[in-house]
Amino acid sequence: MGAQKKPDLIVGAAARGFILGAAIAKEIGCGFVPARRGQASAETISATYALEYGQNALELHPRWFLRRACLIHDDVLATAAPSRRSQGSSWTLGGVVVGCCFIIELGFLKGRERLSKYDLHALIEY
């Protein structure tokens, strides 16, 4: 990731995205925001998304994104639904998504195609 794309925040999707998302944020020297599924306290905005087996939502605190570059981190890239919803929330609040990173990409589900306008990195592809 080039210097011009260095994020101000890592957005880690619940709950496995918290583990490495926080470590990535510490390593590159930026902030970390947990995108929680229906458990956030205080003032939040909610981003609902469809899954292949139902529906879910991520909740975020609105002030975290104001005019910040965000990198979305999650454990698995499958259909890209949670990542797309997190990105939509970041844009709504004035944040800019500079990329997405995943531990595993399930290529046959074509999530990468749905996120094609972003820098996208996955450690393992199946």
Q: Which amino acid is at 34?
A: P
Yes or no: say if 39 and 59 are a contact pair by the CB < 8 Å rule.
yes
pLDDT of residue 115: 87
pLDDT of residue 108: 94
Whole-angstrom Cα distance, residue 81 to residue 118?
14
* pLDDT digit string, tens, across residues 49-99: 666 667 766 676 666 666 788 898 988 888 876 666 566 666 556 678 888
pLDDT of residue 5: 77
* pLDDT digit string, tens, across residues 17-40: 888 899 999 999 999 988 776 655
Kindly report whether the global pTM for this prediction surpasses the value 0.85. Answer: no
Which residue in 84, 3, 100 sits closest to 48, CA to CA? 84
Q: How confident is the model at residue 3 (pLDDT cuts 50, 70, 90)?
A: very low
